[in-house]
A and B are shown apart, each in its own frame.
Chain A
Amino acid sequence: MTAQLTPVTAPPREQHKRDKRRKANRGQRRSNLLTVVLWLAVLYFFLPLVWLFMSATKDNGDLFTTFGLWFGHDFNLFANIHDVFTYQDGIYVRWTLNTVLYSCVSAVGATVLATMAGYAFAKYKFPGDKALFAIILGAIMIPLTALAIPTYLLFSSAHLTNTPWAVILPSLVTPFGVFLMRVYAADAVPDSLMEAARVDGAGEYRIFRTVSLRLLAPGMVTVMLFTFVATWNNYFLPLIMLNSGKLLPLTVGLAQQSATSSAGGGAQALFSTVITGAFLSILPLVVVFLYLQRFWQTGLATGGVKG
Chain B
Amino acid sequence: MTNTIQRKQNLVAYGFVLPFFVVFTTMFIAPLAYSGYLSFFAHKLVGGLQFVAFGNYVRAFQDPAFLYGLGRTALILLIQVPIMLGLALFFALALDSGRARGSKAARLLIFLPFAVPGVVTVLMWGYLYGQNFGLTGQITRALGLPQINFLSDKLVLFSIMNIVTWAFVGYNMIIMYAALKAIPPELYEAAEIDGASQVRLAWSVKIPMIRPAILLTIIFSVIGSFQIFNEPKLLVEIAPTGITQGFTPNFYAFNVAFVNQDLNYAAAIAFLLGFVIMIVSYVVQLSMQKKQVQS
Q: How far is the CB of A152 from chain B (nearest CB, A)?
A: 7
Map CB proximity to B onto A165-196 as digits: 1 under 8 Å, 0 otherwise: 00001101101001000000000000000000
Residues on A with C-beta less than 8 A from B216 are: 303-304, 307
Any B CB within 8 A of the CB of A78: no
Q: How far is the CB of A178 from chain B (nearest CB, A)?
A: 6
Any A CB within 8 A of the CB of B164: no
Map CB proximity to A onto B234-272 as digits: 1 under 8 Å, 0 otherwise: 100110000000000010011001100001001100110
Contact of A147 among B32, B196, B203, B233 (CB under 8 A): B32
Are the C-beta atoms of A149 and B267 separated by less than 8 Å? yes
Which candidate, A3-11, A83-91, A214-222, is the interface stretch facing chain B? A3-11
Any B CB within 8 A of the CB of A244: no
Map CB proximity to B onto A46-62 as digits: 1 under 8 Å, 0 otherwise: 11110110010000000
Map CB proximity to A onto B213-226 as digits: 1 under 8 Å, 0 otherwise: 10011010001001
Any B CB within 8 A of the CB of A295: no
Q: How far is the CB of A38 from chain B (nearest CB, A)?
A: 5
Any A CB within 8 A of the CB of B125: yes
Are the C-beta atoms of B195 and A45 separated by less than 8 Å? no
Residues on B with C-beta less than 8 A from A105 are: none
Measured CA separation A55–B123 after assembly (Å): 13
Residues on A with C-beta less than 8 A from B166 are: 44-45, 48
Closest to B167 in A: A45
Interface size on B, residues (CB 8 A): 110
Are the C-beta atoms of B117 and A281 separated by less than 8 Å? yes
Measured CA separation A18–B194 after assembly (Å): 8
Contact of B13 among A126, A147, A259 (CB under 8 A): A126
Measured CA separation A25–B233 after assembly (Å): 50
Residues on B with C-beta less than 8 A from A3 are: 197, 199-200, 203-204
Assuming A39-B106, A124-B12, A129-B13, is B124 touching A278 (CB within 8 A)?
A: yes
Closest to B193 in A: A22
Residues on A with C-beta less than 8 A from B175 are: 300-301, 303-304
Are the C-beta atoms of A254 and B120 separated by less than 8 Å? yes
Are the C-beta atoms of A235 and B230 separated by less than 8 Å? yes
Q: How far is the CB of B200 from chain A (nearest CB, A)?
A: 4
Measured CA separation A68–B94 after assembly (Å): 31
Measured CA separation A230–B102 after assembly (Å): 30
Any A CB within 8 A of the CB of B143: no
Measured CA separation A153–B124 after assembly (Å): 32
Residues on B with C-beta less than 8 A from A113 are: 19-20, 23
Any B CB within 8 A of the CB of A151: yes
Any B CB within 8 A of the CB of A199: no
Q: How far is the CB of A251 from chain B (nearest CB, A)?
A: 4
Assuming A49-B116, A67-B138, A114-B20, is B34 touching A157 (CB within 8 A)?
A: yes
Are the C-beta atoms of B119 and A254 separated by less than 8 Å? yes
Closest to B131 in A: A266
Measured CA separation A297–B115 after assembly (Å): 13
Q: How far is the CB of B180 from chain A (nearest CB, A)?
A: 9
Measured CA separation A258–B233 after assembly (Å): 12
Any A CB within 8 A of the CB of B127: yes
Closest to B16 in A: A120
Tell me the chain A residues, 1-36 only, with Cβ under 8 Å from chain B.
Answer: 2-3, 6-10, 14, 18, 21-22, 25, 28-31, 34-35
Residues on A with C-beta less than 8 A from B60 are: none
Measured CA separation A42–B109 after assembly (Å): 6
Can you list 21 residue pairs at the A/B interface with Cβ under 8 Å? A29-B99, A38-B91, A39-B102, A39-B106, A41-B110, A42-B110, A47-B135, A51-B135, A68-B138, A136-B24, A141-B281, A149-B35, A149-B254, A149-B267, A170-B27, A236-B254, A251-B118, A258-B234, A300-B174, A301-B182, A304-B217
Other CB < 8 Å A-B pairs besides A68-B128, A304-B178, 11 of them? A46-B112, A48-B124, A64-B132, A146-B274, A150-B271, A153-B266, A173-B24, A239-B233, A258-B123, A262-B238, A304-B212
Give B residues with C-beta under 8 Å from A: 8-10, 12-17, 19-21, 23-24, 26-28, 30-32, 34-35, 38, 87, 91, 94-95, 97-103, 106, 108-120, 123-128, 132-135, 138, 166, 169-171, 174-176, 178-179, 181-182, 192-197, 199-200, 203-204, 210, 212-213, 216-217, 219, 223, 226-227, 229-230, 233-234, 237-238, 250, 253-254, 257-258, 263, 266-267, 270-271, 273-274, 277-278, 281
| Pairs A-B, 9 closest by C-beta atoms | A120-B16, A304-B213, A124-B13, A301-B178, A150-B35, A150-B31, A117-B20, A3-B200, A204-B12
